[in-house]
Chains A and B, each alone.
Chain A
Amino acid sequence: MSKTTQAPKALRGVGNFIDDRFHLAKTGEKNLRKVFPNHWSFMLGEIALYSFIILLVSGVFLTLWFKPSMLEVVYDGAYERLQGVPMSEAYASTLYIDFEVRGGFLVRQIHHWAALIFVASLVVHMLRVFFTGAFRKPREINWLIGVAIFGLAMVEGLFGYSLPDDLPSGMGVRILQGVMLALPLVGPYISMFLFGGEFPGEDIITRLYMLHVLLIPALLLGLIVAHFMILWHQKHTQYPGTGRTDKTVVGTPMYPAFAVKAGGFFFFTFAVTAGLSGFVQINPIHLFGPFTPTSITSGLQPDWYMGFMEGSLRIFPNWFDIAPFGYAIPTAVLVPGLIVPGLIFGGLALWPFIEQWITGDKRARNVADRPRNAPVRTGVGVAGITFYGVLWLAGSNDILSETFSIDLYLTTYIFRVLAIVGPILGYIIAKRICLGLQRRDRETLEHGYESGTIQQLPSGEFIEVHKRSSDETIHVLENKPPLTSTALSEPEVDDKGVENPKTRKGPGKLRLALARWYTKDNVSLDDVEPYSGHHLHHSVPEGEKEATH
């Protein structure tokens, strides 16, 4: 390609046709030139987007045959083992998709796998955003949209899981109804209205179907589009590096390189989903049998993203159940059903604003934090993961009990302790690791990196040779953002010895305390000159520095 080629006539024709009507040449070029910073962790959100597309396409295919009806029929389809069994039309039509529609089994598996991957990639994407501080100004609103997408995706998944009306899926609906009933005052009403009467009634599948294929996907689609428009407008965050600042983004342009890479990545995502669907069977509803409210099987497990709810229902004890004036308030259902998800989603939604309040940081941040450089945030994130992870594991305590031959009730006690101790330990350990890494950064900046080469000095002493780090590393380390809070820069007492009224009590005092908690122990690299200690070739205790040379 030595000189610019003239666009082919047909393309010019189409281009002119569109431009004459929309005036798009300038905007189009600007957007095709859009820059995408390169990092593998930016592909996590892409996986979520691509699985959502796969979900839409495979879901449309499934609606061609699925009948969202609870009318009882006697099965006489191609799957012999269930012939003559009474079941709902929903379950029978799902069997039809599996055993009488070619490729139906595969598409159902793709739909289910894509749902699992969708929520999983959402979660990992959110963790990336959290730990790198990419939710900070100006991206708080997009973070909130992300939290909403996560919440809706869970509900969407739960409802989809319920539609085939097989035994485990019906039991999921039953648990949902049980949690609903526990709500004080309104519980029985909400349950009656949602189910069109008692459980299971005749309406719930039809209603969940509407929510699953129309209302929630429309909301999700709207939120995802908004998420992308905001992302597009504000541009990506980027990791620190030479030339990358809060003012300038560095990366691959949309056209042509990023478009081809992203397109290829879509096909990879689809390939993994299709491969899993072809060879790793999931939710074989024909083996579970139709739902009846009177039967159950042991070892039931929900889809992974509902595991933490299941776990908290399992381990939260009934010790706090109260019955004022004879009215039952089953906290053993209400806390896991409302408080736990409220804590997790509420905490996620509020964190950017809490952090901003603590630090008083009102600047636009386009360069992502390295997680170690915000030790408290990283610690809080790890505490959150630990809490979620313990509840999630507790959701399979019966399987764990059987697999590892541990007493079932003992696993419950262990998880109860872990749910409280785990997050605290997680916070402390993660924060200490961050501080350790910060100290290593400081040492790398001062001395270069340990090369692994051992030298013997004429004096007989052995030393390890330090080598110079790359310019990129030095740039990143030198530009470590300071961790401060405006609350700390306000004087606590004025020159007359009077306490600052702002921080004396109430929110101001709390903010000051939180600011101290947020910033203390942080290792500053500000006073370090690169390689100020590199001629030492090895680290020696502070006191011996002079003696060594």
Chain B
Amino acid sequence: MTKNNANDNNEAGDTRPDRVVGTPKADERVVAGVPGAPHDEHDGPYEASETHVRPEEMQRRGEKVASLWFVLAFLGGIGFLVSYFLFPPNAAGEPAIGHPLIAQYSNMLLGGTLTLAMFGIGAGMTVWARQVMPHYEVHSPYDELPSSDKEKSSFGEFFMKGADESGFTKRPLMRRTLILAMLPLGLAPIVLLRDTGPLPGDKLKTTPWENGRRMYVEGTSRALRPEDLENDPNGMISALPAMDEEGHYHGISLDDQAKSVIMLIKVPEGDWKERMTEKIEGTDETRLNWTHNGIVAYSKICTHVGCPAALYERTTHRILCPCHQSTFDAADAAHVVFGPAHRALPQLPIGVDDEGYLIATGDFTEPPGPTFWDYAKD
């Protein structure tokens, strides 16, 4: 506490309130004497005129009620400890919390008792503050925040003198070289982050699909044949490239799954729309050439922000992404018919191999997944 700090004028006891506020409300119940009225003879930490002491009878009742709450809280706390030891943690003991139902009971008991313990303490303290303690309406001045002009100019003078004395303003060579010295150091933390990940390269643009790659039903190692689509009631099967890499469950890494997952959809003859028969730029092929026997394969990853567009409605051939409701027409080259997606789901060219298994006949011609700025560039 420095002596010249004029703002610090609200030290306790320095000022007295200008006037009295907080006269009792007319509807407050009279118990004894004048409840809530300022007690001139009251001897508390604050001005008697600002303190409204509760009547003794109210205080006594308050003490009882508060204590009752505290006892309840104590019982809640004991209940919490008991609930903890009631349920052994491992499956060997009975009843163990490994079972969802038992876990739920345990959760309710622990939560319920904890609530009681916390609520009891809170309620008791509130009763204490409202019925036992006096009610205060204390005045206090707001500090005058701006310093006086004298203080400001004194500070300004002191600061500039110091700056001049240090030579920081007068000696530009030293100042500029110091700033220069800081520059590379400032870049260092950013440079150090370089190894947090590889450069994109063509990683976003290629997938494990290649000519001759068979496809597994998602989550299994069962290779798909065209007949599987005939029998499927949904008319749609999710599939992944048939890979059997070491170290991955289902033989394929999550990264590869995320970009190569496809939907195989059987579209009845005659339901195809015009985009399927348009010539693909730079080739003689149409998108129908990329289908096999009415089976078309699209990337399952929405081109909006990457959720699996997994909802397929068989009658309308519409593919709906449940996240943001981008809708694609499976019979029309997965063209966007509604929603925020930027472009169609990439189509995977497919065929069958000698043994009659479905295969890819190449990679996607366009990157699957969320659209990024240079997706269309090679």
Residues of A within 8 A of B (CB): 1-4, 23, 26-27, 29-30, 33-35, 72, 74, 77-81, 86, 98-103, 105-106, 109, 138, 171, 174-175, 177-179, 181-185, 187-189, 191-201, 203, 233-235, 241-243, 246-253, 255-257, 260-261, 263-268, 270-272, 274-275, 277-279, 281, 286, 292-300, 310, 313-314, 316-318, 321, 323, 326-330, 332-333, 336, 364, 366, 397-398, 408-409, 412
**Nearest-CB distance from B372 to chain A (Å)?**
4
B97 close to A293 (CB less than 8 A): no
B374 close to A179 (CB less than 8 A): no
Which residue in A177, A266, A397, A398 is a CB contact (below 8 Å) of B306? Answer: A177
> Among B105-113, B227-235, B280-288, which stretch is in contact with chain A?
B105-113
A179 close to B305 (CB less than 8 A): yes
B238 close to A294 (CB less than 8 A): yes
Which residue in A35, A138, A255 is a CB contact (below 8 Å) of B139? Answer: A35
B307 close to A252 (CB less than 8 A): no
State in angstroms the CA–CA spacing of A274 and B121 once bound together.
Answer: 14
- What total count of A-B pairs have CB within 8 Å? 348
B340 close to A317 (CB less than 8 A): yes
A1 — which chain B residues lie within 8 A by C-beta?
A: 43-44
B204 close to A188 (CB less than 8 A): yes
State in angstroms the CA–CA spacing of A80 and B129 once bound together.
Answer: 50
A252 close to B89 (CB less than 8 A): no
**Nearest-CB distance from B45 to chain A (Å)?**
8
B1 within 8 A of A: yes
B129 close to A185 (CB less than 8 A): no
A195 close to B197 (CB less than 8 A): yes
A196 — which chain B residues lie within 8 A by C-beta?
A: 196-197
**Nearest-CB distance from B288 to chain A (Å)?**
26
A313 close to B108 (CB less than 8 A): no
Known: A189-B199, A192-B200. A103 touches B84 (CB 8 A): yes
**Nearest-CB distance from A228 to chain B (Å)?**
16
A298 close to B308 (CB less than 8 A): no
B306 close to A174 (CB less than 8 A): yes
B140 close to A264 (CB less than 8 A): no
B248 within 8 A of A: yes
Chain A: CB-nearest residue to B322: A298
B377 close to A293 (CB less than 8 A): no
B340 close to A316 (CB less than 8 A): yes
B310 within 8 A of A: yes
Known: A178-B306, A264-B125. A100 touches B1 (CB 8 A): no
Which residue in B140, B145, B300 is a CB contact (below 8 Å) of A249? Answer: B140
Pairs of residues from A and B, 5 with the lowest C-beta to C-beta distance, nearest first: A278-B111, A178-B305, A78-B98, A264-B125, A267-B122
B255 — which chain A residues lie within 8 A by C-beta?
A: 197-201
B308 close to A296 (CB less than 8 A): yes
Which residue in B110, B129, B218, B310 is a CB contact (below 8 Å) of A260? Answer: B129
A261 — which chain B residues lie within 8 A by C-beta?
A: 125-126, 129
B308 close to A74 (CB less than 8 A): no
Known: A106-B107, A182-B372, A248-B18. A295 touches B198 (CB 8 A): no
A293 close to B254 (CB less than 8 A): yes
A79 close to B308 (CB less than 8 A): no
A246 — which chain B residues lie within 8 A by C-beta?
A: 142
For window 141-174 of B, CB contacts with A under 8 Å fall at 141-143, 145
Known: A249-B140, A275-B111, A313-B340. A72 touches B145 (CB 8 A): no
Most B Cβ at <10 Å: residue of A203, A327, A397: A327
**Nearest-CB distance from A415 to chain B (Å)?**
11
Residues of B within 8 A of A (CB): 1, 10-12, 18-19, 21-22, 43-46, 84, 87, 89-91, 96-100, 103-104, 106-112, 114-116, 118-119, 121-126, 128-129, 133-143, 145, 193-194, 196-200, 203-204, 218, 238, 240, 248-250, 254-255, 257-259, 261, 300-301, 304-308, 310-311, 322-325, 336, 338-343, 369-377
B139 close to A250 (CB less than 8 A): yes
Known: A102-B89, A265-B122. A30 touches B21 (CB 8 A): no
**Nearest-CB distance from B131 to chain A (Å)?**
12
B89 close to A198 (CB less than 8 A): no
Known: A74-B249, A99-B98, A257-B129. A242 touches B21 (CB 8 A): yes
B197 close to A193 (CB less than 8 A): yes
B116 — which chain A residues lie within 8 A by C-beta?
A: 271
Which residue in A197, A243, A297 is a CB contact (below 8 Å) of B322? Answer: A297
B306 close to A249 (CB less than 8 A): no
Chain B: CB-nearest residue to A104: B97
A100 close to B12 (CB less than 8 A): no
State in angstroms the CA–CA spacing of A415 and B139 once bound together.
Answer: 50
B133 — which chain A residues lie within 8 A by C-beta?
A: 256-257, 260
Main secondary structure of the interface of B (DSSP, over half): loop
State in angstroms the CA–CA spacing of A271 and B119 once bound together.
Answer: 5
Known: A74-B249, A257-B129, A323-B376. A296 touches B304 (CB 8 A): no
**Nearest-CB distance from A100 to chain B (Å)?**
5
Most A Cβ at <10 Å: residue of B11, B89, B324: B324
State in angstroms the CA–CA spacing of A408 and B318 once bound together.
Answer: 14
Known: A248-B18, A253-B138. A193 touches B115 (CB 8 A): no
State in angstroms the CA–CA spacing of A281 and B108 once bound together.
Answer: 10
A295 close to B310 (CB less than 8 A): yes
Apart from the given pairs A248-B140, A364-B142, 12 other A-B contacts in the complex at a CB distance below 8 Å: A26-B1, A33-B138, A72-B248, A72-B249, A78-B99, A106-B110, A174-B305, A194-B197, A257-B129, A297-B322, A318-B336, A332-B304
State in angstroms the CA–CA spacing of A295 and B240 once bound together.
Answer: 12
B18 — which chain A residues lie within 8 A by C-beta?
A: 248
State in angstroms the CA–CA spacing of A183 and B369 once bound together.
Answer: 14
B374 close to A409 (CB less than 8 A): no
A187 — which chain B residues lie within 8 A by C-beta?
A: 372-373
**Nearest-CB distance from A185 to chain B (Å)?**
6
A297 — which chain B residues lie within 8 A by C-beta?
A: 322
State in angstroms the CA–CA spacing of A109 and B112 once bound together.
Answer: 13
B11 — which chain A residues lie within 8 A by C-beta?
A: 26, 30
A235 close to B142 (CB less than 8 A): yes
A200 close to B258 (CB less than 8 A): yes
A-B contact pairs, 12 of them (CB 8 A): A78-B98, A100-B89, A101-B89, A171-B323, A174-B306, A175-B306, A175-B323, A194-B196, A198-B258, A249-B139, A296-B322, A333-B304
A199 — which chain B residues lie within 8 A by C-beta?
A: 255, 258, 306, 369
B325 close to A294 (CB less than 8 A): no
State in angstroms the CA–CA spacing of A99 and B125 once bound together.
Answer: 35
A194 — which chain B residues lie within 8 A by C-beta?
A: 196-197
B325 close to A314 (CB less than 8 A): yes
B304 close to A328 (CB less than 8 A): no
Known: A253-B46, A327-B374. A198 touches B121 (CB 8 A): no
A326 — which chain B residues lie within 8 A by C-beta?
A: 376-377
State in angstroms the CA–CA spacing of A198 and B259 once bound together.
Answer: 9
Known: A102-B84, A296-B322. A192 touches B199 (CB 8 A): yes
State in angstroms the CA–CA spacing of A188 and B373 once bound together.
Answer: 8
State in angstroms the CA–CA spacing of A449 and B122 once bound together.
Answer: 38
Known: A72-B248, A313-B324. A260 touches B128 (CB 8 A): yes
Most B Cβ at <10 Å: residue of A292, A294, A336, A398: A294
A294 close to B374 (CB less than 8 A): no
A30 — which chain B residues lie within 8 A by C-beta?
A: 10-12
B370 — which chain A residues lie within 8 A by C-beta?
A: 177-178, 181-182, 333
State in angstroms the CA–CA spacing of A100 and B372 once bound together.
Answer: 43
State in angstroms the CA–CA spacing of A266 and B11 once bound together.
Answer: 29
State in angstroms the CA–CA spacing of A206 and B351 once bound together.
Answer: 41
B118 close to A243 (CB less than 8 A): no
**Nearest-CB distance from B217 to chain A (Å)?**
11
Known: A1-B44, A78-B98, A100-B98. A105 touches B305 (CB 8 A): no
**Nearest-CB distance from B325 to chain A (Å)?**
6
